[in-house]
Structure 1
Amino acid sequence: MLSLFRRKRTPLSPLERMRPRDVNPIEEILGINMRNALIAKYNPRSAIERARDKVAAKVALEAAGISCTGTVAVIDDHQTLMNFKPLRDMPDAWAIKPARGSQGDGILLAVRREGDVWYKGSGTPLTETDVMHHIQRVVDGGFSGDTASEDAALIEPLIIADPALADLCPEGLPDLRVICLHDEPLMAMLRLPTNESDGKANLHQRAIGAGVSLETGRITRALVKGEVVTHHPDTGINLIGFEVPGWDRVLELASKCGPAIGLGYSGSDIVLDKNDGPLIIEVNAHPGIEIQNICQLGLKAQMHAVGEDFR
């Protein structure tokens, strides 16, 4: 499927090669109002809610045969919580995520275990009591970010980054965002943690946003909070031209996510695991438009190229 996608697609980078002389570049940019109109047009409320719930989304993705991060446990009520024993039921390295959390709020990570104690990447110890208190806060809806009175705690094995990506960053887990219209990838970026971002791949906390060419899987441009960079500020490694491992697989997975959940316009978040390769961690029904600044491409132009008429 992917090879067909690449054959039928008109290359869009650099954008100037495809821009008619009488087209204003600003007309190629997808603005927030048009983005919202696309979401209203292509993303039903039921699909948005499915994407919003990480547990429900993972069920839909796995049912479609899409590779996702693993699952240790889902704790969605207090009875399940009472029967859960972290020392018995959790691995040596793990991630706890609120099913309805956003922007990383409420995520707790342990990178190793020594005896009856886990340790965060910072070296902070976590006892079984600490873990249970955090899970209870998640289940109580403390991180849900909406009006839900309760939530579910999704516990997953900790992802070990592909060594090629891990070498770029001092710490943290890089991830990819791929924007799709139906099953057509439109634009992609790699998000790289920095010391300033506290090891998180969060652009608002000064992680690096790096535009990736759909055709080659190579980084073409990188920014930190709007400032162009060519090297990672902490490791000094050159970013421009870096080729993302498993790029064909990344695009193949991203192209399947929206249809699996019922979204026509989506942003798939993908990690590259050391052992399992590309894995879906989340699908966003309201992907942002900052990716256009990072890639120096317009999403509206990309959508025109795959047949969207914006009516």
Structure 2
Amino acid sequence: MFENLSSIWRKGDGRKVGHGMEPAPFGSLDEILGINMRNALIAKYNPRSAIERARDKVAAKVALEAAGIACTGTIAVIDDHQKLNAFKPLRDMPDAWAIKPARGSQGDGIVLSVRREGDTWYKGSGSPLTETDVMHHIQKVVDGGFSGDTVSEDAALIEPLIIADPTLADLVPEGLPDLRVICLHDEPIMAMLRLPTNASDGKANLHQRAIGAGVDLVTGQITRALVRGEVITHHPDTGTKLIGYQVPGWDRVLELAGKCGPAIGLGYSGSDIVLDKNDGPLIIEVNAHPGIEIQNICQLGLKAQMARLGEDFK
């Protein structure tokens, strides 16, 4: 049985990071999870059927909601041309929404509307979207234009636009921050907050110069923040101090993250969570192949955290 990692940290083992303290550096390379070891963990704990379920945002949401896990809402799922032909955006879509390819990755193919004026929607950038624009994009999604694999067709998942928790929204100039929580089975082992910047065009994508901020698993406070490997203490656009920031609803965040892997059938997973103004923490996606860059951001080794839970890497 795995011991609760939060309990281990509270006991104190020389690795706990307190408020306002620089995280301790890696003790040794033996603490770090490399890509080959990560892939071995995925092969060990993540069955192919569960990986496919996680990759399909629609199938994943069905599994999560069946387990009683709070997810972002659903306006429509368009997975064939019959549904596409019957869909009328001006009739069926609200003023603010998100269109996502069910099998897309890294934000490819996602389109957001923040408001509507008359028969026209507007992106956060101010660019207009007509009903024809929306239909053309949905058709491209359904035709597999963003699926990134050999699948010939995909599904367009249309969701209400998330309104970020006001305290979190104050950290960023625009865009929607999100959290990534890595779990082994039902136990959270590492977490980071991803914060959009002007340079990232309002997207919480680390490769596009969004901020990666390590979050202390026990306190829910930011301990360290980086942009493309450069350590920072304040948001470069808003000037808001990041170190010591308390993530709202932290206990709920960990509770949700710990339920996601088992609900989908994954033993090793990365849950992506947004903090909605009205509904609090919501799951937006569960990743069956979470990256290992989080270790550089948190200055902790995933291998060491899993070893403390009893994982045997031999």
TM-score of Structure 1 vs Structure 2, range by shorter chain: over 0.9
Residue in 1 that maps onto 2:148: 145
Runs of 4+ in 1 over 2 A off after TM superposition: 4-17
The AA in structure 1 aligned to 2:274 is: V
2:226 equivalent to 1:223: yes
CA distance in 2, matches of 1:104, 1:132: 19
Deviation of residue 108 (structure 1)? 0.3
CA distance in 2, matches of 1:82, 1:13: 60
Residue in 1 that maps onto 2:213: 210
2:79 equivalent to 1:76: yes
1:13/1:213 contact within 8 Å kept: no
Residue in 2 that maps onto 1:92: 95
Residue in 2 that maps onto 1:275: 278
Kindly report which structure 2 residues correspond to 1:248-267, keeping only aligned pairs within 5 A, or say none.
248-267=251-270
Q: Taking structure 2 as the reference length, what is the TM-score of the superposition?
A: 0.94
Deviation of residue 5 (structure 1)? 4.3
2:233/2:243 contact within 8 Å kept: yes
2:192 equivalent to 1:189: yes
CA distance in 2, matches of 1:40, 1:87: 45
1:10/1:305 contact within 8 Å kept: no
- Closer, same or farther: CA 61–307 of 1 in aligned 2, 3 Å: same
2:50 equivalent to 1:47: yes
Deviation of residue 8 (structure 1)? 3.6
CA distance in 1, matches of 2:282, 2:34: 29
Unaligned stretches of 5+ residues in structure 2? 18-25
2:77/2:157 contact within 8 Å kept: yes
How big is each residue's C-alpha offset from its partner over 1:88-107, in whole Å with a ceiling of 9 and x where there is no partner?
Answer: 00011000000000000000
Higher relative contact order (CA 8 A, sep 6+): 2
The AA in structure 1 aligned to 2:36 is: N
* Percent of paired sites with the same residue: 84
Deviation of residue 310 (structure 1)? 1.5
Residue in 2 that maps onto 1:157: 160
1:6/1:215 contact within 8 Å kept: no
Q: Taking structure 1 as the reference length, what is the TM-score of the superposition?
A: 0.95
2:6 equivalent to 1:15: no
1:206/1:224 contact within 8 Å kept: yes
2:113 equivalent to 1:114: no
The number of residue pairs the alignment matches comes to 303
2:5/2:305 contact within 8 Å kept: no
Deviation of residue 57 (structure 1)? 0.1
CA distance in 2, matches of 1:304, 1:289: 16
